[in-house]
């Protein structure tokens, strides 16, 4: 009898583990590129139209919307929480350290949402709109195309404390910190180096690279001197003056970012640590030589990042307004 009971308990444990595995698989299986094929067939053209106008008006906006996706996914998963304004019951993520006066593009997401709501009311999540806009940002600046997995739902609350906890790597990060922060999200070293290539577009504030151009030694001197012209050494002076992350082609999505690193012209400390005698040097070299390899790995990493803890099924909601819960 005792042996029989042990058998039953063992079988129940096995069944329980199988159910957990199936549930975990279904969470990601519910994300698919054709999720809205029937419920909102005009979704992609609608998003693309707004994106084209926004990027034509300001090329930098593409980089901002790509960054918005990254900052959303790293805080409690890709759930659109970064879009939420403060409410009486929670504080939004917009004023957290890594985002305050830095993350932007919310008005473009609002315009996309408004357009999509007119076509397909209450169907498409804000989280998915952020994911599509990130892909289109890359595409509109000459980068690779990929199928965006969709089916995420929106969170009902934000993660201000989580956003301030250090999960988003700072511009001053060491290589070890970068590796660990990405690993915590299920992303490999290769994913991290490929995703860092997003810095082939966009700009950074003087505050984030002042120490690098004045105090670090692993930097090309002529590059440092040129950056100093627009970024004073004194803290508090010119903090918000901007410089392109990629001086070679700042508004084109290509692989020149990695060539800059080889020349010790990475603008941020967290850029140059990727090529500084460490474990990622060879990958930087590979991407500098092969745009296709970079594109392939970047796309894989973007899809993988988009899979970070999505809300699906009955979890979360489809917000009518991306800035507040229903």
**Residues annotated in a binding site for substrate:** 169
Half-sphere exposure in the Cβ direction for 122 (13 Å, CA) = 1
d(CA 130, CA 153): 12
List binding-site positions for heme b.
199
Q: Which listed residue (71, 230, 255, 315) is catalytic?
A: 71
d(CA 288, CA 256): 7
Collapsing DSSP to helix, strand or coil, 118 comes out as helix
Q: From its phi and psi, is residue 122 left (phi > 0), alpha (psi between -120 and 50) or beta? A: left
Is 71 known to be catalytic? yes
Encoded tokens for 245 = 């992350």
230 close to 206: Cβ distance less than 8 angstroms? yes
Q: For residue 225, what are the CA distances in angstroms to 157, 214, 238, 269, 304?
A: 45, 9, 16, 16, 38
Annotated catalytic residues are 71
């Amino acid at each position: 009898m005792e042996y029989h009971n042990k058998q039953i308990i063992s079988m129940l444990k096995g069944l329980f583990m199988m159910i957990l595995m199936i549930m975990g698989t279904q969470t990601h299986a519910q994300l698919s590129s054709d999720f809205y094929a029937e419920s909102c067939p005009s979704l992609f053209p609608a998003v693309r139209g707004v994106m084209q106008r926004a990027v034509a008006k300001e090329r930098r906006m593409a980089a901002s919307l790509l960054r918005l996706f990254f900052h959303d996914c790293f805080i409690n998963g890709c759930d659109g929480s970064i879009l939420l304004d403060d409410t009486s019951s929670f504080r939004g993520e917009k004023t957290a350290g890594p985002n305050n006066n830095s993350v932007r593009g919310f008005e473009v997401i609002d315009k996309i949402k408004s357009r999509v709501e007119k076509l397909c009311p209450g169907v498409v999540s804000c989280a998915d709109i952020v994911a599509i806009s990130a892909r289109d940002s890359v595409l509109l600046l000459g980068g690779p195309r990929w199928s965006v997995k969709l089916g995420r739902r929106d969170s009902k609350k934000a993660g201000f404390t989580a956003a301030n906890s250090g999960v988003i790597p700072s511009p001053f990060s060491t290589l070890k910190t970068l590796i660990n922060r990405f690993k915590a999200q299920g992303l490999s070293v290769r994913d991290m180096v490929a995703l860092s290539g997003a810095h082939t577009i966009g700009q950074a504030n003087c505050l984030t690279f002042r120490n690098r151009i004045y105090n670090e030694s692993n930097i090309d001197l002529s590059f440092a001197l040129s950056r100093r012209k627009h970024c004073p050494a004194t803290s508090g002076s010119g903090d918000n003056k901007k410089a392109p992350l990629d001086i070679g082609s700042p508004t084109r999505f290509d692989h020149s970012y990695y060539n800059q690193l080889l020349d010790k012209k990475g603008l941020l400390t967290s850029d140059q640590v990727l090529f500084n005698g460490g474990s990622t040097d060879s990958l930087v070299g590979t991407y500098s030589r092969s745009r296709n390899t970079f594109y392939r790995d970047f796309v894989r990493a973007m899809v993988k990042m988009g899979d970070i803890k999505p809300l699906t099924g009955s979890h979360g909601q489809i917000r009518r307004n991306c800035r507040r819960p229903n």
